[in-house]
Amino acid sequence: MKVGFLLSLALGVVLMVAVTVLWLVLDGLGVFTSVGDTVKEATQSENNSGFDLQHFLSLKNTLFFSGIVAIVDVILVTALATLGAFLYNLTASFTGGIEVTLAEED
């Protein structure tokens, strides 16, 4: 359980860093501005100003959603790793396990 938790925690941190770097690169290239202008122009009508994609995909909102995904990931991966280890140990106790010899003993 401890190893599964630490690995899933590391995966969550990697997810957050990757999302941040990807968002900064896309924002630097102006992707959000151009796509946001196109969406706003397409959804604009007489009584509203259209959908604001730039506000919806802000860094704060993106990191908040990624944080929720990372927390759920940590919980699920830890639980699944623990369950998998339990099932493996249960199966190995019934069948005797698998013996692998990497070097011959003298």
In the predicted structure, residue 78 carries a pLDDT above the cut 80 = yes
pLDDT on residue 68: 97
pTM over 0.85: no
Q: What is the DSSP string of 21-42?
A: HHHHHHHHHTHHHHHHHHHHHH
Give Cα 67 distance to the centre of its chain. 8
Question: What letter represents residue 67's amino acid?
Answer: G
Q: What share of the chain is helix, strand, coil (3-state, %, to 5)?
A: 75, 0, 25
